[in-house]
Structure 1
């Protein structure tokens, strides 16, 4: 059985018009899309180190950033001006700023930066850092948002430790911290200026005085006294030691203060008698020698020769007077004459190196006498005249007299 083909039916009427209309619309839409795509600019954006290519109809950089919902802050880095026109193939670099807290010697300040490392940030903000300053974190550390950067400024300090001087740079906060870092220990007596609690500052000088106290014992030998006891049973000129003298020894305990090795104070804290001393007692004979003839006021010659012929020498001397009852006097002369027993005796005290003891002398206004005594004050051209009358002694004063010296 044969199948017969039918020719295609032709679209006619309103359907044909509708199809034509739809075809026209599709054509113009396609053309519009092609034209829209063809008029878009292709832009490369480096966003915080990552490149992104976008196509846009934005007229300006600002419109593009808004289109991309990127909010540009004043501290951010944008390689193009916001008002710049968008061009095909344009490259735009955008780096958002990071918040950084900087603390310099305890003072805080907030910064916003697009620098990539701590070093570049400090350079960007003109924050000078010396080789002695301490920066945390390290200079090559990458900047991250919310980073804390601490800078401790170094101060130039001089330490004078007991006379030894050292100049150094330090970032320590207080004097005590610096001493600890240098292993410098203060002893109980040491002095420091300024105090350990003083803050470190540039140009500061720290003076440490090393103080030491020591006890020193010094022995002193004390001389013994010689006590003279006159003995009338011994001849004049004879001596005998009754008791030998012994030196005493005393310990002086001193507390000595040294500052930086030099003695600055010496204080006597106590004395200890290590050995008692003993006086020397010496007996001195006072028995009169037959060569000394006592002269009395009754026999004294006023003529100046004293019956001895020519004088050996004549002197001008300073005369004073004394009695047998003066303070400290025993009444017995150095040559053994008992003046209290012989109140009329004419005796003078002399310096034996000027007038020999036992010599007969003539004294102007006093007469002839025997040089039979000495005295601690009678030295050189001085002569002391014996009077039994104390009132006469007191009224005598001193006089300049002529003196003639004869032999024994």
Structure 2
């Protein structure tokens, strides 16, 4: 009897101790799970993009700045971090470090160098405070991403409209006139130049003219043609004689007399001998000189050049009376 009671007490004692054991196991599992959960929540996987590399890492850092410090990533002036340094670190986050590169900007006659993270030309100009006008030309293109050592050139392009007046040459009309001797001309109507108005669109690059385009023309004043009557008459009557001629010229006529020398053609001068410029009237040409009469081109003179002649007279008194005259000289056939 005593043995049965002892066995019962021992089994009852074991039954009372088992709940405490299970309670302890439960508490341990609770703390273990909580710790794992807390650690799993605080330990985040992120991706770092820096210096051309992509690094996948886990971190307990709370902010991006702490993450970079933890990974010993040093930032230089002009570097940009995305997201910002004070942004909280979250699971799966991608943190990008854009290193600044040196870039030169040429605009408005000045050069400027600055450090900038890789960005488009438009973004760099905006950062540098360079304002663009619609007509400005930028090299490289605004959408281009800059690289270290790139030069951005801004060419200021402006336009101006300019009006220029120029002369229009008049035409010359030559009309035969049978009332005028052949070789003689007379101006019937004097020509007048017209005025042409031209409008240009001029392009300037950095203040210097780079080109112009004619956009409009207008005749402000029409030119007036010059009308010249051209002699067609080739027959003349003088002193009861009628003769045909090839042409008539106006000439300045002087007179000379005996000097004892022969003429350029080797004969002694006499009335009817006329000195001429052979480039105008060939020697040997038969002539009729108003106020003098018929003659032959037989002599030359140092002062007889162009439309000048020297007629021979017998006496000094006659040459003095002749003086200097403007006469018509008929070149005979």
- TM-score w.r.t. the length of structure 1 is 0.44
Question: Is contact 2:199-2:215 (8 Å) kept?
Answer: yes
Q: Which residue of 1 aligns with 2:310?
A: 359
Tell me the alpha carbon deviations over residues 85-114 of structure 1, each in whole angstroms, 9 at most, x when there is no partner.
Answer: xxxxxxxxxxx8543332448964322345
Root-mean-square deviation (CA, aligned residues, Å) is 5.8
Which residue in 1 is equivalent to 2:267? 304
Distance apart, 1:387 and its partner CA? 8.1
Aligned to 1:256: 202
Does structure 2 retain, via aligned residues, the 8 Å contact 1:118–1:143? yes
Report the CA distance between 1:275 and its aligned residue. 0.8
Unaligned runs of 5+ in 2: 7-30, 232-247, 256-262, 313-325
Match of 1:126 among 72, 76, 94: 72
SS at match of 2:114: strand
5 Å-filtered alignment, 1:239-388, equals 242-280=188-226, 303-307=266-270, 346=296, 354=305, 357-360=308-311, 388=333
Residue deviations 1:17-38, cap 9 Å, x none?
x9xxxxxxxxxxxxxxxxxxxx
Separation (CA, whole Å) in 1 of partners of 2:69 and 2:166:
76
> 2: CA distance between counterparts of 1:135 and 1:216?
52
In terms of fraction of residues, the more strand-rich structure is 2
Shift of 1:115: 5.3
In terms of fraction of residues, the more helix-rich structure is 2
User: Within 2, Cα distance between the matches of 1:215 and 1:136?
Assistant: 49
Correspondent of 1:204 among 140, 150, 154: 150
Q: Secondary structure at the match of 1:360?
A: strand
Taking the aligned partners of 2:47 and 2:264, their CA distance within structure 1 comes to 124
Higher relative contact order at CA 8 Å, sep ≥6: structure 1 or structure 2?
A: 2
Quickly say closer, same or farther: Cα 1:288–1:223, change in 2 above 3 A: closer
* Deviation for aligned residue 1:221: 3.0
Alignment of 1:41-52 (within 5 A): none
Q: Tell me the alpha carbon deviations over residues 205-240 of structure 1, each in whole angstroms, 9 at most, x when there is no partner.
A: 222323334332211134657889999999xxx998
Structure 2 partner of 1:110: 56
- What residue is the counterpart of 1:397 in the other structure? none
The answer for unaligned runs of 5 or more in structure 1 is: 1-13, 19-67, 77-95, 294-299, 325-331, 362-370, 375-385, 389-408
| CA distance in structure 2 between the partners assigned to 1:127 and 1:243 by the alignment | 94
